[in-house]
Structure 1
Amino acid sequence: MIRPVQDTIDAYWSQRAPSYDDYQQRAERRELDTEIWSRIWSSALPPAPSDVLDVGTGSGHVACLLARLGHRTTGIDLAPAMLDRAREHAAALESPPRILSGDAVRPDFPAGSFDAITGRYVMWTLREPLVAVASWILLLRPGGVVAMADSTWFPQGLGDLYDDAARRALPVAEATSIDRTAEVLREGGLVDVEVTPLHEVLELDRRLGVAPGHEVQLQYLVTGRRP
């Protein structure tokens, strides 16, 4: 079941890649996004340079930003078209992140490879999120940080997004509270789990709008630490 489910997710995001990335690159918002998200990630991560893995990197937004902040960054994803976009953006940087094909649930790296693991808009679309968190803990050095930015995007249900099998396999996707994401991090073995509302992002969305088909809503940064 895992492979067909993940194939469905990957195919959806590959199809969405051009429009999704183009929206993130809008000139009127790009610099403000970079400024705000730089503060958000810097507040959560160890000082640069640190070794950071960005799971579900998509078009590389977070991976490239963290590389610009001086981190040694690796971004992984399984959607081919998203990886193409991420590699294009990375190639334009003086000190680019590595962009690799890889599964956010079971990243294939040696234990203790990273100081931090990040993800933006990833938790809701993870199959087996508890397995993912356990995998991330193994990859972290002692005291390492997990930082996930997300929201409750589909409290009324996923509708026709993905197929029935994929929808049933995503336990966080239809959560009605961000507390569910925090619970997953705790249940997976992280400590000092905290939820921080991202009011700056909310205000920016109110001013400049959000992607077609999305609604303006509060996002959160959910963090935890490896014991």
Structure 2
Amino acid sequence: MQSEGIAEGANFTLRDEIKAYWSARAATFDQSPGHEIFSEEERAAWHALIERHVGRRNGAKALDLASGTGVISHLMDDLGYRVTGIDWSEAMLERARAKATSRGRAIRFHLGDAENTLESGDSYDVIVTRHLVWTLVDPKACFAEWLRVLKPGGKLLIIDGDFVNTGLAERLVKRLAAILERAGILKAQATHASAVMAGAHENILSRVHFSGGARADAVRRMLEEAGFSAVAADTNLRQIHKAQAKHFGFFKATARGMQHRYAIVAQKPAS
């Protein structure tokens, strides 16, 4: 049985399901605030976050893992990096390549697996990921691979969050929004994923390694166990949330700002 590109079957692994899910989402991915960037204010906020942790480095090599349609790749390119984007969804890569061409960017995108990049060891100054870690089936293997690929002294920047656990305040905000929508007082926001896709997302989320939520402390500990040093978590993403809020409704923006979202920076030891 197949629904909207999501397949089922005995030989269809969880990793295959994740790949199929994001391939099916590719066509509408850039339509969602929080995925693509919709204002120069938000772009500036992302630049500030990246510069704060890995700097602006003309000519340095950056690897964007699970690059999707290339949103983070373009931010890194803005800051002077020579960027390679890897994704295992060809549908995402098609859009990433088209976007780079239309913007005149020399970003290289190719098909690849974050757990087995096939990149040379000690070859990148920076590795960056956004919203990848929560989907990982085997984060230990991935973190070991990323450590291998980084140059000595190179940095890893993870931007992610806990999309499972919600606090009482967030639940109340969402409940109030739902009540107001049902009453016709609040206009329901457009969604870019069907109920079938939302169900597939929940099903996948329940079976990945961080099914209980990718908390910053847990990710940080695993990075240290993998051999990374100077691992630090930054939960101050307020400027990004503030810029994105203008493109969400009040209640969704409020709930989103309450979520446990973070950036983690880690370094490969110099020797």
The bucket for the TM-score relative to the shorter chain is: 0.7 to 0.9
Structure 1 residue ranges (4+ consecutive) displaced by more than 3 angstroms after TM superposition: 24-28, 159-164, 166-169
TM-score normalised to the size of structure 1? 0.87
Check whether the contact 1:53–1:118 (CA below 8 A) recurs between aligned residues. yes
Residues 203 and 167 of structure 1: is their aligned pair in 2 closer, same or farther, counting only changes over 3 Å?
closer
Report the counterpart of residue 83 of structure 2 in structure 1.
73
Residues 167 and 196 of structure 1: is their aligned pair in 2 closer, same or farther, counting only changes over 3 Å?
closer
Give the % identical residues.
26
Indicate the structure (1 or 2) with the bigger Cα radius of gyration.
2
Aligned residues: 222
Give the 5 Å matches for 1:97-176.
97-155=107-165, 160-162=199-201, 166-167=204-205, 169-175=207-213
Check whether the contact 1:107–1:135 (CA below 8 A) recurs between aligned residues. yes
Residues 226 and 92 of structure 1: is their aligned pair in 2 closer, same or farther, counting only changes over 3 Å?
same
Distance 2:131 2:200 in 1: 15
Q: Does 1:29 pair with 2:68?
A: no
Check whether the contact 1:195–1:220 (CA below 8 A) recurs between aligned residues. yes
RMSD of aligned alpha carbons: 2.7
Q: Residue 264 of structure 2: which of 215, 219, 222 is its match?
A: 222
Distance 2:76 2:152 in 1: 21
Check whether the contact 1:172–1:181 (CA below 8 A) recurs between aligned residues. no
Check whether the contact 1:10–1:79 (CA below 8 A) recurs between aligned residues. yes
1:74-103 superposed Cα distances (whole Å, 9 cap, x missing partner): 000011211111111111233421011010
Distance 2:83 2:130 in 1: 14
Q: Which runs of 5+ in 1 are unaligned?
A: none
Residues 105 and 51 of structure 1: is their aligned pair in 2 closer, same or farther, counting only changes over 3 Å?
same
TM-score normalised to the size of structure 2? 0.73
Residues 93 and 201 of structure 1: is their aligned pair in 2 closer, same or farther, counting only changes over 3 Å?
same
| 2:135 aligned partner, one-letter code | T
Q: Which runs of 5+ in 2 are unaligned?
A: 1-9, 167-197
Q: Residue 205 of structure 1: which of 230, 233, 244 is its match?
A: 244
Q: Secondary structure at the match of 1:22?
A: coil
Check whether the contact 1:155–1:176 (CA below 8 A) recurs between aligned residues. no
Report the counterpart of residue 20 of structure 1 in structure 2.
29
